[in-house]
Structure 1
Amino acid sequence: MPQPDLYHNLFSSQQYDKNNFFLIAGPCVVESAELLEEVAYTVSGICKKLAIPYIFKASYKKANRTSANSFTGIGDEKALGLIQAIGKKYHIPLTTDVHTAEECAIAAQYVDVLQIPAFLCRQTDLLIAAAQTGKVVNVKKGQFLSGESMRFAVEKLRNEGNEKIMLTERGTTFGYHDLVVDFRNIPLMKANDVPAVMDCTHSLQQPNQSGGVTGGNPGMIETIAKCAIAAGADGLFIETHPQPAVAKSDGANMLQLDKLEEMLEKLVKLRSAII
């Protein structure tokens, strides 16, 4: 694994196999304390069993929605507080999205990793503000960029003295309503001497649907994850929900929670076979 200090700082409270990939997983957005509890309890238990280092993920609000009528959140401070409570209870690092420079300092009080959404990966003021918090910064590759071009995002963060960086592949726009994954982007992003993560759920989105709700293809999540591990991904990003059909955001491309363990068992075996 690259950047041993980054891993040690994030996962020092966890027992894990240093040869495993790490997992970023959780629901798309904070819907309730009960949802966060169910997902964190389940996923942290699976990760302990399989010795996978784990970062809990939930967006405290959704700023990028297709329709003005879409759910955006339960309130910023309330949602951030619920995320923070999960980290304290389960002794796991946390991540959430930030959308503006002003949000970075606020979210940094609650989480360990600031996630830069793909559409905002070139926003210089946002990247600078995130870097200046001293937190780990995970930048999602824009759907309109190559993996190689993400070196400029890395440079912006490093220019602020922050070396705690991850890059995440989440597919490339293909026409108006679909994405494709070019797995060459994983080694290209790793060439920046940062961990490369595969977003196995958002890369299967089918955006810009005429009904105003993004579609997806969750039946391909395992395929994307297997290919990413084979291509050398350091981490996997998977949004999961006990009942995706009733989720308030991204239900069409989230993995059903009770399907996660079996898939991770396969991926751990695959990882051990190729390292």
Structure 2
Amino acid sequence: MSKMIFLSGPCVIESYENLRRVAEDLKFLATHPKIDFYFKASFDKANRTSLESFRGPGLKDGLELLKRIKEEFDYKIITDIHESYQAKEIAQVADVIQIPAFLCRQTDLIVEVAKTDCIVNIKKGQFMNPNDMQYSVLKAIKTRGGGQATYEESKKYGIWVTERGNSFGYGNLVVDMRSLVIMRKFAPVIFDATHSVQMPGGANGKSGGDRTFVPYLAKAAASVGVDGFFAETHFNPDEALSDGPNMIPTNNMQALVEKILKIQEVAQ
């Protein structure tokens, strides 16, 4: 069985001290023989609910901090992109460039990321039919010289898709586990266990959520079958500057990961 991809880290870069503390807590992932680990943090949260919400240090300073983490811990890095012009600079540090969910149809953004040597991780929009994500995948594949949106082609050209739930009424998301099966026909699928419990705009000008449901959704996804998981974490989620209600405390991560691995081994 191939290694399980695992993307984890804080939602946003708050400070180098906090970033390093989380990186230190995740060493067990980087050294786990069954896991292909990527450290995740955003240099900018460009789609915050409120203008007053913390966004991060920005492109230049944020990439410098991620570079320091990469050099000190020898971690592979994943981070978000928001504008096409950022692709080349991000690619100098990151191993995976992530297309945010709300931007998953943006052709120019996908094409510019696909022109780099990085893996392209396209998050499925909360508004998207999972089957239609094949066309976003195909934009990246064609840019890299491929011709079809199949699982094999996507794996060959380094294209992933990530499920993070579907809009359901106002301020809530629901995960349809059928999406994992549908999208895995045309790309390796990552399940985002923490954003799937988000309640967008549900906390008086910022997003809320309920992290207690993360283990249940993650275990369900493992039983269905996915290529990897995305789970944001923080040593003190209640004090985090972004997405705190959804994030898993770092001291709870290892137990969750081991449960997921056991389920995947049985399911496969």
TM range (shorter): over 0.9
Aligned partner of 2:213 in structure 1 is 220
Describe the superposition over 1:44-67 as per-residue Cα deviations: whole angstroms up to 9, x where unpaired: 224424632100000011111100
User: Aligned Cα RMSD in Å?
Assistant: 1.3
CA distance in 2, matches of 1:204, 1:210: 13
Q: 1:116 aligns with which of 99, 104, 113?
A: 99
Q: Structure 2: which 5+ residue stretches go unaligned? A: 146-156
Is the aligned partner of 1:51 residue 2:34? yes
In 2, are the aligned partners of 1:20 and 1:271 still within 8 Å (CA)? Answer: no
Aligned partner of 1:263 in structure 2 is 256
Is the aligned partner of 1:241 residue 2:224? no
Deviating above 3 A after TM superposition, structure 1's stretches of 4 or more consecutive aligned residues are none
CA distance in 1, matches of 2:29, 2:90: 27
Aligned partner of 2:265 in structure 1 is 272
Describe the superposition over 1:244-267 as per-residue Cα deviations: whole angstroms up to 9, x where unpaired: 111011111111111111111111
CA distance in 2, matches of 1:47, 1:264: 12
In 2, are the aligned partners of 1:107 and 1:114 still within 8 Å (CA)? Answer: yes
Q: 1:185 aligns with which of 166, 179, 191?
A: 179
CA distance in 2, matches of 1:93, 1:220: 28
Aligned partner of 2:68 in structure 1 is 85
Letter in 2 for 1:172: N
In 2, are the aligned partners of 1:55 and 1:92 still within 8 Å (CA)? Answer: yes
In 1, are the aligned partners of 2:191 and 2:226 still within 8 Å (CA)? Answer: yes
In 1, are the aligned partners of 2:4 and 2:34 still within 8 Å (CA)? Answer: no
Single out whichever of 114-123 and 181-190 deviates more from structure 2: 181-190
Aligned partner of 1:7 in structure 2 is none
In 2, are the aligned partners of 1:200 and 1:237 still within 8 Å (CA)? Answer: yes
CA distance in 2, matches of 1:76, 1:98: 9
Secondary structure of 2:253's match?
helix
Describe the superposition over 1:100-135 as per-residue Cα deviations: whole angstroms up to 9, x where unpaired: 111111211110100000000000110111111121
Letter in 1 for 2:263: L
Q: 1:32 aligns with which of 3, 15, 22?
A: 15
In 1, are the aligned partners of 2:161 and 2:188 still within 8 Å (CA)? Answer: yes
- The two structures have a TM-score, normalised by structure 2, of 0.92
CA distance in 1, matches of 2:79, 2:99: 9
Secondary structure of 2:67's match?
helix
Aligned partner of 2:191 in structure 1 is 198
Deviation at 1:151, TM superposition (A): 0.4
Deviation at 1:146, TM superposition (A): 1.7
Aligned partner of 2:86 in structure 1 is 103
Is the aligned partner of 1:141 residue 2:135? no
Deviation at 1:208, TM superposition (A): 2.0
User: Sequence identity of aligned pairs in percent?
Assistant: 40
Q: 2:167 aligns with which of 163, 173, 180?
A: 173
